[in-house]
Structure 1
Amino acid sequence: MSSSTATATHLPTSAPGREQPLRRTLGLWQGVSLYVGSVLGTGVLVLPGVAAETAGPASVLAWLGLVLLSLPLALTYAALSRQRADAAGFSDAIERAFGPRWGAVSGWLFLAQVPTGTAVVALIAGEYGASVFGGGRTMALVLGAGLVAFAYAVNFVGLRVSAMAQLVTLGVIVLGLALIVGRALPEVEPRAFTPFFAKGPAAVGLAAVQLFWAFVGWEAITPLAREFKDPRDIWRASLLAVGIVGLVYLPLAIVTVGTGAQGGSGSAQASLVMLAGHVFGPGASRVVGIAGLLLSFIPLNAYVAGTSRLAFALGERRQLPSWVGVTSASGTPHRALAALCVVAMLALGVTWAAELRIADLLPYSTSSFLATYVLSMAAAVRLLRPPVSYAAIVSLVVCTGVFFFVGTLIAWVAAISVCALVYQRFAQARPG
């Protein structure tokens, strides 16, 4: 299918009884904050130390490689959003390229990670918050659940309020990270980087797989493309976001290795707490605990915004129950938000009752993300023209290679895909 043919595909319109279309409320910097927030989040809290433990000093190469991969990924998703702004985002692009069934499959795959992904973010946020108050696992889950509820409440008020909250929080957190990294850079020891491949060159690949969680998010804002005031800001926000993410991740990875702050206790907060304590003293741990709790709000807020728009769009297309595809008088997809909030809270309850850990939940989210990335890049290769299509080809090759590392969880991806296809067959058989 050529891009011209694809662009002519029918846009879903509001059926009678639907209150208002989604409104254009996003400016450039609000868009940047949502893009950066969807990528820069809990990964910065957890993964610098994890990657350093896995690959030693050479883990910096894994960070650099994934920052470089972010550029073609971000540009490809921005190009798809510019080609046609739709609340289904990447799912709409896959539908235009391969038909409505594959569009529905991609949407289901992405929404399938909402329960586990939300639980991962809540556990990380809660652990940082509990470190301030001296609480245990129950307190961590309570704090995490509170943050999840707050993110849904803010989005229920409206995307403009949500984006402004995102922008303010992101600014404070980036400033705090800049202070920690800036103070730590003079204390980086060159000998900490020798031998560079202390754990072998192959360990860099393993570290890259672990770090992929820190770089998912470029797809999450595509459902918001219809809500940018100026469509050109989608390109601008993407490029600015890649630069900001790189400027945060790379220096943090360098100082984590160079100051020996990778930890090793297995705690999600070990490396950042150690780094802050190293440069500001022991009292910094409480500040880092609060900062970790706030930082977790950023990706959570961005994903609540993106996934609710995706669920709304799938409801419009009857790829989910049609009652989800309804907005309030203010243009907020309130039913989609309510449904996703209930699912997220149930997932947190199961996480607490079954005593699940981050390591138990993360592979399910990562496999779902990777599957949607592979489908998105394949669609982009078909829909986009050179030179942007070249970026899609590079991204497709890399993402496909990483996808095979999910191992047996390919069965999980297949199960969700089958459920989506069965539902489409059921929905098409129903009248109206």
Structure 2
Amino acid sequence: MSAGIGTARGTALCVGAVLGPGVLVLPAMAVRAAGPASLLAWAALLCVSAQIATSFAALGTRYPDSGGVAAFTRRAFGDRTADVVGCWLFAAVPVGVVAGAIAGARYTTAALNAPARTALGVTVALLAVVYLANVVGLHLSARVQLVLTAVLIGLLVAVVVAAGPRVNLDRMTPFAPYGIAGVGSAIAVLFVAICGWEATANLSAEFTDPRQVRRAAMASLAVIVVLYTGLAWCTVGVLGDEAGSTTVPLMRLLAPADRPWMAAVVAMAAVLFTVAASVTFVAAGARAGLSLARHGILPARLAATHNGAPRRSVLVQAAAAALVAAAAAGAPHVITVEALMRTFAAMLACVTLLGLAAAVRLLPTRRQRLNAGVAALAVAAVAALSGQFLLAPAAVVVAVLIRRRRTRPPAPPHPRAGDDLSSLHPYPTAMTAVLR
């Protein structure tokens, strides 16, 4: 896509960046962790989401750059911090993609009324489609991504409209069966639901007018708040405790017994969006690996491309996803979708935290810095609530520091004729891949 997107398209792209496959399972996970008090977790995170969106919109307006958080942290804190952020993104993608594939497979299995073991085959098929698409260099166009975003929004609106009249306030009691600890646990897992606001900053260079960045951020924030509030309210008020025991909450909300055909519609939409979002994120992760290799953090062999496509980096991502999927299949009661989502959330919380810290350092006005600082403190609290799942981003930090001590990163190579210049940008993100 060429530069020149407006507020409407920017809003749709930002909404698509925040809404991901996690929406298929996160509301139920929150109920499992906190009961009806998960509504408090949603409220807290949506308030934090507003501050995060505002801070990244301010960064994007002042420093138009498609490099995302890594570009801002490089500007604020230097190469070492940017390398850590890039590695967090590179490591998080296989975890999140496998979690999304498992969730989509469960919806498909439920729609087909197939045995539970069928979900493993569907998961493998979804992952194969996602990674093969990236190996051959297929990228979703912005127009296709917008259509898929509209489909997802339509699905969520249909869920809220269909389930709203069946809300029963009696299901709200007992309100907090697991106490404040349960609310904290729900906040930690739900953080995935509000990730993606850095897309506002990533898109900033594409707007026809920098002032449209803030407008798009605020409009997309309004859409996200309405959708998530309605979905959380219906999940608690209609399913109650049952929400914590189902793996397909949206299907339960939209497909009552007298309309079983709706289950297939939900399953098809879930699979379609899971594949679409995952293709985009794998493309972003693979290009992050390409840039990390060119900066000397990952082996130089990963810097090779084929017709501009980072195939070796994609294959490394595919191998990592295969390991995660095999581990999940071998120990399904230990490496659950919830555990994968929490690990994914812990890494993204760390990425967001550093992005907000960069905003505190880079933004010009005291009000903007204060807003970013408050958001950073809130995200730090969310990261702390991740508990043992913080071991994953901590391990990445250790690995990066060891790698930097052993090899001094070379200067990025000068582009040659025919090079894909976009791959030289430090750590392009999902929205960069969409716009390409």
- Greater CA drift, 169-178 or 234-243: 234-243
Instruction: Give runs of aligned pairs for residues 101-250 of structure 1, distance below 5 A.
Output: 101-152=80-131, 157=137, 159=139, 161-193=140-172, 196-197=175-176, 200=179, 203-219=182-198, 234-250=213-229
Distance 1:181 1:172, change over 3 A: same
**Retained in 1: the 8 A contact 2:303–2:310?**
yes
The reply to whether residue 428 of structure 1 matches residue 408 of structure 2 is: yes
Could you report, residue by residue, the CA deviation over 1:10-63 in whole angstroms, capped at 9, with x for unpaired residues?
xxxxxxxxxxxxx74683455444432332123322122332344343322221
Q: Match for 2:74 among 65, 75, 95?
A: 95
1:113 is paired with a residue whose SS is helix
Aligned to 2:345: 366
The reply to whether residue 55 of structure 1 matches residue 29 of structure 2 is: no
Structure 1 residue 265: Cα displacement: 6.1
Aligned to 2:242: 263
Aligned to 1:9: none
Q: Match for 1:273 among 243, 246, 251?
A: 251
Cα distance in 1 between the residues matched to 2:43 and 2:155: 22
Q: Match for 2:295 among 317, 322, 344?
A: 317
Structure 1 residue 295: Cα displacement: 3.4
RMSD: 3.3
The reply to whether residue 292 of structure 1 matches residue 270 of structure 2 is: yes
The one-letter amino acid paired with 2:268 is I
Cα distance in 1 between the residues matched to 2:64 and 2:309: 17
**Retained in 1: the 8 A contact 2:61–2:201?**
no
The one-letter amino acid paired with 2:250 is L
The reply to whether residue 382 of structure 1 matches residue 361 of structure 2 is: yes
Cα distance in 2 between the residues matched to 1:199 and 1:430: 52
Cα distance in 2 between the residues matched to 1:248 and 1:365: 22
2:298 is paired with a residue whose SS is coil
Cα distance in 2 between the residues matched to 1:189 and 1:335: 52
Distance 1:363 1:64, change over 3 A: closer
Distance 1:429 1:367, change over 3 A: closer
**Retained in 2: the 8 A contact 1:33–1:166?**
no
Could you report, residue by residue, the CA deviation over 1:85-105 in whole angstroms, capped at 9, with x for unpaired residues?
445421121122122111101
Cα distance in 1 between the residues matched to 2:311 and 2:162: 44
The reply to whether residue 398 of structure 1 matches residue 375 of structure 2 is: no
- What TM-score, normalized to structure 1? 0.81
Distance 1:357 1:188, change over 3 A: closer
Calculate percent identity across the aligned residue pairs.
31
Aligned to 1:343: 320
**Retained in 1: the 8 A contact 2:106–2:119?**
yes
Distance 1:259 1:390, change over 3 A: same
Structure 1 residue 182: Cα displacement: 1.1
1:414 is paired with a residue whose SS is helix
Cα distance in 1 between the residues matched to 2:131 and 2:154: 25
The one-letter amino acid paired with 2:100 is V
Structure 1 residue 367: Cα displacement: 1.9
1:259 is paired with a residue whose SS is helix
Structure 1 residue 241: Cα displacement: 2.3
- Extract unaligned runs of 5+ from structure 1: 1-22
Distance 1:351 1:56, change over 3 A: closer
Structure 1 residue 243: Cα displacement: 1.8
Aligned to 1:7: none
Cα distance in 2 between the residues matched to 1:400 and 1:53: 23
The one-letter amino acid paired with 1:348 is A
**Retained in 1: the 8 A contact 2:295–2:410?**
no
**Retained in 2: the 8 A contact 1:38–1:298?**
no
- Greater CA drift, 337-346 or 395-404: 337-346
Equivalent pairs counted in the alignment come to 407
Distance 1:303 1:244, change over 3 A: farther
Cα distance in 2 between the residues matched to 1:62 and 1:246: 13
Cα distance in 1 between the residues matched to 2:210 and 2:137: 24
2:27 is paired with a residue whose SS is helix
Structure 1 residue 125: Cα displacement: 0.9
**Retained in 1: the 8 A contact 2:162–2:254?**
no
Structure 1 residue 381: Cα displacement: 0.8
Cα distance in 2 between the residues matched to 1:108 and 1:293: 28
Cα distance in 1 between the residues matched to 2:200 and 2:130: 16
1:260 is paired with a residue whose SS is helix
1:404 is paired with a residue whose SS is helix
**Retained in 2: the 8 A contact 1:85–1:225?**
yes
The one-letter amino acid paired with 1:306 is A
**Retained in 2: the 8 A contact 1:87–1:309?**
no
The reply to whether residue 352 of structure 1 matches residue 329 of structure 2 is: yes
2:25 is paired with a residue whose SS is helix
Distance 1:378 1:225, change over 3 A: same
Distance 1:385 1:333, change over 3 A: farther
